[in-house]
Structures are given as structure tokens and as C-alpha cells.
Amino acid sequence: MTAHPAHTGTDPAAARFGGHVFADPGLLAQALTHRSAGSPHNERLEFLGDALLNLIVAEQLYARWPRADEGAMTRARAELVRESALAGIARELDLGARLTLGPGEMKSGGHRRDSILADAVEAVIAALYLDGGFETCRQAVLAWFEPLLAALPPLHRVGKDAKTRLQEWLQARQLPLPVYALLGESGDEHDKTFRVGCALSEPALATEGSGSSRRAAEQRAAEAALARIEQPAG
């Protein structure tokens, strides 16, 4: 995959993102331009997009969880808008292929880096708002985030990560705690993937998880273990 050059209004695809056709294609081009490629870049749009994203997600949590207190909604919002979640959305949208990066970032694989992808999502949100208005922006964000909103854990478990939930499940039953072990690493130094195993002695179970950090891999291994041992949520 290679980063594309800056888009121009002569390319119809350059003026479209999702279902929205930009009246100002330069606005979308700016949203997809990293600061390493020069000005105008997307940092100001990122600032605005971050605020819009937090508002739209907060509105959804307020509507969906009428009995939740401020703390629970704050934790859920932080989970939804964290960098890795935004980077995942960027990958689903194939945003990396449309980024304009400077030579150094192109060489180091910046189009795959979570921080750059997450910032670009926020910048595109702002561009959609400025070009199409709040409702256009809101509908796009809701379409991207609906799977994440639907997958939120039960209210009483919001804010507890998979490792914590697995530990609490075992402790409640007076069972031995899990053991995590690094099984391998792959990829370049700036773009590594870690593979971690999670072993339970009772019930006897072994799962694996992969991620861009050892901690992320441990969380996914714990999530896989929980999926095996927990009863369906009720």
C-alpha cells in the first residue's frame, strides 16, 4: 500500500467520502493530509473533529442508557473514542490508502500507524461537518460507530477491561488466576505485532491474542478466554 498524492477537484473520487460528495474537495484533501506533507494539513480539523465526535457519542450514550450516571457514560465514551477504536474504523474505511504523507512517514509506514489513522478520522469528521452540516456529520459518525455502540458491555461492566473482568470472574469462584506469556513478535520495529497466550488451570483453557502492543495482545487473549467461559450475557 502506498500513500496517494494530494487529491484535486478534477478526480471525482477525491471529492467523495462515504455517501457524501464534497462541495469543497479541498476540505477533504486537507483532512487527509498529515502535517509531514506540509500545509495545509489536518491538525486544526482534528481539533474540531474531536469535539464533534465526543458530542455525537455522548448524545448516543445519553439516549441509549437512561439510567446511567455521568461516570459510566464518561467511561463508555472514552472506550468508544480511544485511539485504537478510531484506527480500527479508519482501516474499515481504507483511510490509510487515501492519506497524503511526507516522504519520511511514507517510508516508515505512517499510513498504518494508529495515531495517524485516528487523527485522520477526527479530521474527516470535521470536514464533513464544515462541508455538509451537523446532520451529515452525525449520520456518518453513527454509521461508523454503530457496531461499537452495539457491542458495549452491560452497563455495570463499562470501564472494566477484559483482563480485569477475567480476574474478577475467577476470583469470585476462588479459582487460580490466569498466566500470560509472550508467544512471539513479528513485523518491523515501528510496526510490531505481539502474540500472547492466556492460560487457565481451572477451568483448563488456553487462548491467544494479538495486538500492536503486549498489553493489547493480553487484553485480546483475556477476551477470548472470557468468551469461552462466560454464560451469555443476561
pLDDT tens digits, residue range 180-204?
999 999 887 777 889 999 999 989 9
What cell numbers appear for 33 in the block?
493530509
Which residues have CB under 8 Å from 172's CB, separation 6+?
none
CATH of the domain spanning 12-153, picked from 1.10.10.60, 1.20.140.10, 3.40.190.10, 1.10.1520.10: 1.10.1520.10
pLDDT of residue 3: 42
Residue spans of the domains in the chain: they are 12-153, 162-229
The answer to whether the 12-153 and 162-229 domains have the same CATH topology is no
Percentage of the chain beyond pLDDT 90 is 53
According to DSSP, the β-strands at 16-17 and 179-186 are unpaired
Sort 231 into a burial class: Cβ within 10 Å, 0-12 / 13-18 / 19+: exposed
Q: Is 230 helix (H, G, I), strand (E, B) or coil?
A: coil
Binding region = 46, 119, 122
**Nearest to residue 196, comparing CAs of 216, 170, 176, 168?**
216
- Which runs of consecutive H residues, i.e. helices, occur in the chain? 25-31, 43-64, 70-80, 83-92, 103-107, 114-132, 134-150, 162-172, 214-229
Instruction: Please say if 122 is a catalytic residue.
Output: yes
> Omega before 5 cis (within 30°)?
no
pLDDT of residue 11: 58
For residue 68, which phi and psi values (nearest 5 degrees)? -80, 145
**Nearest to residue 117, comparing CAs of 186, 42, 192, 48?**
42
Q: Is 25 helix (H, G, I), strand (E, B) or coil?
A: helix
What is the rounded distance in angstroms from the CA atom of residue 59 to the CA atom of residue 227? 30
Selecting among 50, 114, 131, 223, the annotated active-site residue is 50
CA 56 to chain CA centroid, Å, is: 16
Annotation: CATH topology of 162-229: Double Stranded RNA Binding Domain (3.30.160)
Selecting among 105, 114, 122, 218, the annotated active-site residue is 122
Q: Are 48 and 129 in contact (CB under 8 A)?
A: yes
pLDDT tens digits, residue range 94-113?
999 999 999 988 888 888 88
**Nearest to residue 19, comparing CAs of 142, 123, 111?**
142
pLDDT tens digits, residue range 45-58?
999 999 999 999 99
Does position 123 have pLDDT exceeding 90, yes or no?
yes
pTM of the model: 0.66
| Amino acid in position 71 | G
Q: Specify the length of the chain in residues.
A: 234
pLDDT category of residue 5 using cuts at 50, 70 and 90: very low
Binding region for Mg(2+) = 46, 119, 122
Q: Is 113 helix (H, G, I), strand (E, B) or coil?
A: coil
